[in-house]
């Protein structure tokens, strides 16, 4: 098979840099154009010094002309900037959008949460959800999920699909600062975040809420209500999501823990990147740092009649760039795990 030539737009940002890190290790990919907006004309090594093999590359402008002629184009651009470029790339090109432009099926949801005209939704890049892989095979357009929806959906979908819990879920997810992007923001200064936790997007105000609800509702064939609270933590990358839902009325709390474990073991037994931990071991963000893995654990609060699922993900790897590479592999018929590490970086 010939080497796949890939372009990365938005290469100066966190997601773009992580894409390049993973693509450098991919056995079937050669990296073509790397582009940026305001950083065009700058050496990549000045902005992504960890990418030594690409340090002398000069960032091109993000234009259709510079991105054309590749087998795959990854768009790691701010929300609202991908659709116009993608519409001008040929249907023979695999376009993988790491932004939100093509994630939401409902136009009203898009206008409410993001604003501007709604773009058609594309095959959704979370293959571990029911029917996910089938939608990605052979496609030439992929919408990469948001990081919070990735970990939350994988944490809750098996229990909802099995009818183990009611269709109202509560999610509290703690995330590192890289999820907000690389642009300077006063509230993300080191002196603001070090030694402090803060909530944001409270009361159903975070943009990922409708995406989580869309995923869980699609997986289960009916509406799922989502209460989502994100928490900013003083770490660069990683998400820990604590997800819970009331046990279904016909589920005996005394046997629910064993039932839940059986459900999750079956759901993820053959998944290369989603791992249910042994009983008594709880997930940590440090264990998945730099990897494409999601680890999770389930428990039942018998007194409260609630299932609790804790799950972790590296928001820049499986939460964004790793998912993009995984979807490329599926769409092009490559081994799904190609170029994607299962091992984290520790300590």
Q: In sequence order, what DSSP letters do the residues of 187-247 get, joined into one string? A: GGSHHHHTT--EE-STTTTSTTHHHHHHHHHHHHTS--EEEEEEEE-SSSS-EEEEEEEEE
Read out DSSP for 49-64?
Answer: TT-GGGTTPBPEE--H
The angle subtended at Cα 230 by Cα 226 and Cα 233, nearest 5°, is: 160
Could you tell me which of 331, 341, 338, 334 has the C-alpha nearest to residue 97?
331
* C-beta separation of 132 from 191 below 8 A: no
Q: Are strands 239-247 and 306-313 parallel, antiparallel or unpaired?
A: antiparallel
Q: Does residue 98 have an active-site annotation?
A: no
Q: How many CA atoms lie within 13 A of 340 on its CB side?
A: 27
Check 98, 147, 243, 327 and give the catalytic one: 147
For residue 317, what are the contacts with CB-CB under 8 A and spacing of at least 6?
18, 22, 288, 290, 291, 292, 341
- Cis peptide bond prior to 347, omega within 30° of 0: yes
Looking at the annotation, which residues are catalytic?
A: 147
């Amino acid at each position: 098979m010939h080497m796949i030539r890939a372009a990365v737009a938005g290469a100066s940002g966190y997601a773009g840099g992580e894409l390049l890190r993973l693509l450098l290790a991919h056995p079937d990919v050669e990296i073509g154009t790397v582009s940026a907006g305001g950083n065009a004309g700058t050496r990549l090594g000045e902005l992504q010094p960890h990418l030594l093999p690409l340090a002398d590359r000069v960032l091109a402008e993000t234009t259709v002309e510079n991105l054309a002629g590749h087998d795959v184009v990854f768009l790691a651009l701010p929300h609202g900037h991908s659709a116009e470029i993608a519409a001008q790339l040929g249907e023979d090109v695999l376009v993988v959008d790491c932004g939100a432009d093509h994630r939401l099926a409902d136009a009203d949801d898009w206008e409410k949460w993001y604003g501007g005209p709604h773009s058609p939704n594309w095959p959704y890049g979370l293959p571990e959800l029911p029917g996910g892989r089938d939608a990605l095979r052979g496609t030439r357009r992929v919408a990469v999920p948001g990081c919070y929806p990735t970990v939350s959906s994988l944490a809750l979908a098996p229990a909802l699909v099995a009818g183990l819990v009611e269709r109202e879920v509560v999610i509290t997810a703690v995330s590192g600062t890289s999820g907000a992007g690389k642009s300077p923001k006063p509230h993300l200064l080191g002196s603001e975040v070090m030694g402090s936790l803060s909530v944001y997007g409270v009361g159903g105000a975070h943009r990922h809420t409708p995406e989580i609800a869309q995923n869980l509702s699609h997986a289960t064939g009916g509406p799922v209500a989502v209460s989502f609270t994100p928490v900013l933590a003083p770490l660069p990358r990683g998400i820990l999501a604590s997800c819970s839902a009331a046990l279904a009325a016909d589920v005996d709390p005394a046997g629910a823990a064993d039932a839940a474990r059986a459900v999750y073991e079956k759901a993820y037994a053959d998944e290369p990147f989603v791992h249910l931990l042994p009983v008594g071991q709880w997930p940590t963000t440090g264990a998945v740092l730099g990897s494409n893995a999601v680890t999770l654990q389930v428990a039942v609060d018998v007194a409260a009649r609630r299932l609790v699922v804790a799950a972790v993900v590296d928001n820049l790897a499986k939460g964004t760039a790793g998912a993009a590479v995984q979807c490329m592999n599926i769409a092009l018929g490559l081994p799904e795990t190609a170029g994607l590490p299962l091992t984290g970086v520790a300590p």
